[in-house]
Amino acid sequence: MTIADVRDILEAEVISGEGHLDTEVHNACGSDMMSDVLAFVKDQSVLLTGLINPQVVRTADMMDMVCIVFVRGKKPGDEIVTLANDRKIVLMNTPHRMFTACGLLYEAGLRGGN
């Protein structure tokens, strides 16, 4: 699926990176612990998190993740948006909670990888 599909499935609002919505995504990872995310290496992944700080973007960047979804409608500050734009990472937020957001993507065929 594409990042645009992720947006539609999660009823999400795109915060930045509108120009990259046709990028394909193959896996997803949901976590508020960035240390755990750093143990997860998959190409073209989506990160779902409830954490809002610049390290979320840095972590996603290190992992070559292409999209970050903030759950429960959380909105990142300007510093985070600027960093994500610089790294060409799409930011969006969904009104859904973490469990539901992960479930919706799983139901639509996205997997977490091995």
Partner 1 sequence: MVFWERLPGEMTMKLHYEVPGNDFTRAGEASGELKLKLKRLGFSSDVIRRMTIAMYEGEINMAIHAGGGVADVEILPDRITVVLTDNGPGIPDIEQAMKEGWSTAPDNIRSLGFGAGMGLPNIKKYTDMLDIKSVVGEGTSLTMTVLAG
- Please list every residue from 59 through 78 that binds partner 1, using CB under 8 A: 59, 61-64
Instruction: Kindly determine how many residues on this chain lie close enough to bind partner 1 according to the rule CB under 8 A.
Output: 22
User: Quick one: which segment of 14-22, 33-41, 66-74, 90-98 binds partner 1 (CB under 8 A)?
Assistant: 33-41
Task: Identify which of residues 9 and 34 has a Cβ nearer to partner 1 in the complex.
Answer: 34
Task: Identify which of residues 7 and 42 has a Cβ nearer to partner 1 in the complex.
Answer: 42
Structure tokens at 78: 């300007």
Return the HEC string of 26-56.
Answer: CEEEECCCHHHHCCCCCCCEEEEECCCCHHH
Q: Minimum distance between the CB of residue 8 and partner 1, rounded to whole angstroms?
A: 28
Task: Give residues in contact with partner 1 (CB under 8 A).
Answer: 32-36, 38-39, 41, 49, 51, 53-56, 58-59, 61-64, 79, 87
